Amino acid sequence: MTKIDAIIRPTKLDQVKNALKEFGIHGMTVSQVMGCGTQQGQVEIYKGKEYVINLIHKIKIEIVIRDRYVDEVIDLIWNNAYTGEIGDGKIFVYPVHNAIRIRTKQQGEAAL
């Protein structure tokens, strides 16, 4: 099993979520997060004063999938989150050693 974390623009959430649903992935965790990377924040003006905002609002999608779908899901997320501009986000991939469904105590892929 593999865990994929995707940090994306908030405006791309529905597009990525719908693509994952069409692929057959219904279980996911979505969080509002803040961070910075290459984009290094942005400058905003409030009441005539300039403010540098170092942390940008992003969305984090977390999913755990069967290993055989990893490349397809990465491509799906990339295709639906991509704008070509700085700040598109990142995709992180981690091995998962086990998953346990609390209600039934099923383990491994059966718990997905």
Helix, strand, coil shares of the chain, percent, nearest 5, are 30, 40, 30
- Whole-angstrom CA distances from 44 to 51, 59, 87 are 5, 21, 16
pTM of the model as a whole: 0.86
List, for residues 75-104, the tens digit of each pLDDT value.
999 999 999 998 899 999 999 999 999 999
List phi, psi (to 5°) of 111: -80, -15
Q: For residue 91, give its domain range.
A: 2-111
Domain count, the chain: 1
Residue 4 CB neighbours (<10 A): 22
Going by pLDDT thresholds of 50, 70 and 90, the confidence category of residue 59 is: very high
The CATH number covering residue 105 comes to 3.30.70.120
Residue 22 CB neighbours (<10 A): 9
Question: Which regions of the chain does DSSP assign to beta strands (E)?
Answer: 2-8, 29-35, 42-46, 49-53, 56-65, 89-95
Q: Is the pLDDT of residue 54 over 80?
A: no
